[in-house]
A and B are shown apart, each in its own frame.
Chain A
Amino acid sequence: AQTVTQSQPEMSVQEAETVTLSCTYDTSESDYYLFWYKQPPSRQMILVIRQEAYKQQNATENRFSVNFQKAAKSFSLKISDSQLGDAAMYFCAYRIADPGNQFYFGTGTSLTVIP
């Protein structure tokens, strides 16, 4: 069974500082994709970053980067130079690399950015 675990229900970070959100997953598949989504108070989920499991290089999108450890089944999100607009619920998600397959979501981490 595919499961996604986010062990940090809440995190806080000082503005301009760096924060890391953790995510682990369980799967027997070898080919899959991993995602981080941001859900601001307006409630629409927005893609932050994604990683193909076959790629060894960690994905980076501006201030957002991941630490993908395939053997450990770990996929953490690092937010550098945190901004007030980064405050949101962050969901880690996993999908098998078959067409049209569903996402499995973690329970989310609520990030507070302190001015």
Chain B
Amino acid sequence: EPEVTQTPSHQVTQMGQEVILRCVPISNHLYFYWYRQILGQKVEFLVSFYNNEISEKSEIFDDQFSVERPDGSNFTLKIRSTKLEDSAMYFCASSEVGGVETQYFGPGTRLLVL
């Protein structure tokens, strides 16, 4: 069964450094999402992406965040200058267009900012 994959599974970085989190959505899906989950808290929406542009973003998704689909398969989340509070699990998700549009989640990247 097709799955969303994410790399790396874990990332440790120094505060102020840039990180890029990578995702490979399910191949026939056209909507892509990033969510994050700070330890012990609820899963929070960051951004959705469709047709090569951001379709919706939350207040969390400020200027330090950006997303890109650099080729036909990858979907990336870049954090330009990481802060301690960016430490979280970051989940990528994708969905088909039409119908219930169930979102399928990747295994997540655990980001630790020191």
**A interface with B by C-beta (< 8 Å):** 33, 35, 37, 42-47, 50, 52, 91, 95, 99-108
Contact = CB atoms under 8 A, between A and B. Distances in A.
Size category of the binding interface on chain B: 20 to 34
Interface string B40-66: 011111001010000110100000000
A49 B55 CA distance: 26
Interface in B57-114: 58, 89, 91, 93, 95, 97-98, 100-108, 110
B101 A99 contact: yes
User: Helix, strand, loop or mixed for chain B's interface?
Assistant: strand
Contact of A102 (B45, B107, B108): B45
A102 B58 contact: yes
B101 A47 contact: no
A35 to B, nearest CB: 7
Contacts of A50: 100, 102
Contacts of B110: 43
Contacts of A106: 42
Given A44-B105, A45-B91, A100-B31, A52 B42 contact: no
Nearest to B31: A100
A36 to B, nearest CB: 12
Contacts of B43: 45, 91, 103, 105
A68 B113 CA distance: 41
B90 to A, nearest CB: 11
B100 A33 contact: yes
B42 A102 contact: no
A43 B42 contact: no
Given A104-B45, A105-B42, A107-B42, A99 B107 contact: no
Contacts of A99: 31, 50, 97-98, 101
22 contacts: A35-B102, A37-B105, A43-B108, A44-B106, A46-B105, A50-B100, A50-B102, A91-B42, A95-B101, A99-B50, A99-B98, A99-B101, A100-B95, A102-B45, A102-B48, A103-B35, A103-B43, A103-B93, A104-B45, A105-B44, A106-B42, A108-B42
